[in-house]
Amino acid sequence: MRIVRGKEPKIIVQKMHQRGDAIIQVSKPGSNRLFAPKPKTLPPHGAKERVASGQIEDPVAAGLSRAKKARKEYLANVDLDRQAIYLYLQVVFDVVQEWRRLGKANEYSLEALKRHHFPIKMKPNPFARLIYCSSEEDDPKKRSKWAKIMRWVAKHNKKGNSFTKFVTKNGGLNECAENAAHDWLPKWP
């Protein structure tokens, strides 16, 4: 927090660490009380929202670009870190969960599949569709395994822990894949 002093009124600026938004609080001249402006209500991430240029952001394109960027980071770090895959899978999981909260996961993932260079017929699985559209390799077994794990985590992660934390606490990707195949309960909730 930093205090900006000018003439009157005093302005206190706080920066939020996660999103980079600033909260500005202003005190009236001669008063010790701070008045925060009314909070701006933001649409859910992934919903169509106006960006600074005035254009409307496409949630499918935004989700795909986030997943593709995470995939590139994963490929850049795969030789250095065995846990690098979690960077990519966490983003894919988060994007699909945001789409689910909007009630549009199947619709948006199908739209992403239609926009792909080589669309294929797939079962209605948003996780598998987004993995296919955001990765350059086509390994159906790996895609199926990861999608199965994500469905299992979405079903059993009642406390809202991150995908990475939930999977690592339950033994890693391979053990979670086995749990998902048999629909066993997680060891760690």
pLDDT mean for each 10 residues of the chain (189 residues): 47 41 46 45 46 70 95 92 93 97 95 88 91 86 94 94 95 95 89
Same domain? For 108 and 21 the reply is no
Tell me how many domains the chain contains: 2
Same domain? For 31 and 112 the reply is no
Position 52 scores a pLDDT of 56
Same domain? For 115 and 23 the reply is no
Position 186 scores a pLDDT of 93
Position 118 scores a pLDDT of 85
Same domain? For 113 and 170 the reply is yes
Range of the structural domain that residue 20 is part of: 2-35
Same domain? For 26 and 63 the reply is no
Smallest CA-to-CA distance from 30 within 12, 14, 10, 13 is with: 10
Helices (H), the chain: 59-77, 85-101, 105-115, 126-134, 140-156, 163-169, 173-182
Same domain? For 170 and 116 the reply is yes
Same domain? For 8 and 65 the reply is no
Position 40 scores a pLDDT of 40
Position 188 scores a pLDDT of 80
Position 30 scores a pLDDT of 55
